[in-house]
Amino acid sequence: MSRTVRISGKIPAQPGPREAKVGSATDLELGADSVIPGAGPAGRPGERATVRLREAGPDEPARYAPEWLELREPADAAARSHDLLDPLRIRLANLPGKAGLVIHDLGCGTGSMGRWLAPHLDGPQHWVLHDRDPYLLHFAAVASPRVAADGSRVTVETRRGDVARLTPDGLAGASLVTASALLDVLTREEIETLAAACTGAGCPALLTLSVAGRVELTASDPMDEEIAEAFNAHQRRDGLLGPDSVTVACEAFSERGATVRVNPSPWRLGPGEAALTAQWLRGWVGAAVEQRPELQVRAERYLRDRLEACAAGELHVTVHHSDLLALSRPMGGAS
C-alpha cells in the first residue's frame, strides 16, 4: 500500500545522542549513549543497530538516527562510483515505452540516495521511497530533490516496506531499484529475494556503499587488524552477511541472468571529516568489543588514542565499500 506524502507541520522530534567533546571521558565509553544510533551497537542487550526492513512491533525504536545519516551523507556522496552511471544511463535511455523513470529506493533513510542520484539522471523521475521507519520517510519526503539533471520534474511517494517480501509484482513498472548501505545488513535469503524481484521485473539495480571488510588507518596501530576482525565478525552475526554481501549479491544476480559490475567506493576521511570519523570510530570499536568483550580494556586505550589523533587532525581513515550495478534482462525486448 502506498501513499503520497503531504508535508505540513513539524517533523516529529528524534532523540539525539548524548553530547560530548572529543577526548572526554564520555567519548571513551563503549556503550550506546556515546554513539549516535546507527553508528554502532544498539542500546539493549542482544540488539543490533541496523536498517533491516522487516516487520516489527509498533513500539520498536528507530534503528538509525537522522543525525547519523546526515553526518555521513557528504562522505557517501563523495564515495559513490561515478563510473557506474554511464552504463546505467545507457540502459535507462533504452527502456521501452517509458515517459519517465520510476525509481524504487530501498531502505531510503533520509533520502540521501535520491539527493545524489536524481541530479545525475535526465528526464522526469518518480521516486518511491521504501523504509520501515515513518520518521525517516518523512525526512526523506521533505528533503527530496525536485528537478533532474535536465530540469525535468522529480516527484516522490513513500512506502513502509519489508525487503524480505519484495516481489516482481511489487516492482511492476519500475525503471530502477536503488539502495545505499543496505546489502551488508541483509541475509543470504533476503539478497536472493531482492535479486529475484529485480530480475523478475526486468529492472536494473544500483546498490551502493556495502562494506568490504577492510579499513586502513594512518598511522597504523597493532590493534587495527584485531578490531577489524572482531567488527567483521559482529557484522556476520544472526545470519547477516556483512562484508560477504557483495559477493553473494553478485552470484544471486548473475545466476538470474543479470550483468553485474562492481566498483570500489571508499570513504576517505581526513581532518575535514573529523566529526564523522570520531562517530565511526566509536561505533567500529564498540561493535568489536560487543563481539569480543575481552578486548574491552585494550580497546579503551586504542579508542582514546585514535580519538586524540582525530581531534588533532592527525588521523586519516579509509573505509572500503563496494558499489554494485546489476543490469537485468529488461522486459519488452530492449537491449
Q: What are the distances in angstroms from CA 89 to CA 204, 302, 320?
A: 11, 45, 25
- Provide the grid cell at 20: 560530548
Q: For residue 269, report the phi and psi dihedrals to the nearest 5 degrees.
A: -110, 125
> Which residues in the chain show pLDDT less than 70?
1-64, 97-98, 164, 332-335
- CA-to-CA distance for 190 and 106, rounded, in angstroms? 13
Q: For residue 231, report the phi and psi dihedrals to the nearest 5 degrees.
A: -65, -45
Residue 48 pLDDT: 36
- Provide the grid cell at 124: 522526469
Residue 309 pLDDT: 97
- Provide the grid cell at 100: 519517465
Residue bearing cell 527530496: 144
- Provide the grid cell at 50: 541496523
Helix H, strand E, coil C: the string for the chain is CCECCCCCCCCCCCCCCCCCCCCCHHHHCCCHHHCCCCCCCCCCCCCCCCCCCCCCCCCCCCCCCHHHHHHHHHHHHHHCCHHHHHHHHHHHHCCCCCCCEEEEEECCCCCHHHHHHHHHCCCCEEEEEEECCHHHHHHHHHCCCCECCCCCEEEEEEEECCHHHCCCHHHCCCCEEEEECCHHHCEHHHHHHHHHHHHHHCCCEEEEEEEEEEEEEECCCCCHHHHHHHHHHHHCHHHECHHHHHHHHHHHHHHCCCEEEEEECCEEECHHHHHHHHHHHHHHHHHHHHHCHHHHHHHHHHHHHHHHHHHCCCCEEEEEEEEEEEECCCCCCCC
Could you give the count of Cα atoms lying within 13 Å of 27 in the half-sphere of its Cβ?
A: 21
Go through the chain and tell me how many residues it has: 335
* Contacts of 187 by beta carbon, 8 Å cutoff, 6+ apart: 239, 240, 241
Alpha-carbon Rg for the chain, nearest whole angstrom, is: 20
* Contacts of 140 by beta carbon, 8 Å cutoff, 6+ apart: 108, 109, 110, 111, 114, 129, 131, 156, 158
275-292 in b/e form (b: 16+ CB < 10 A) is ebbbbbbbbbbbbbbbbb
Residue 50 pLDDT: 34
- CA-to-CA distance for 284 and 232, rounded, in angstroms? 10
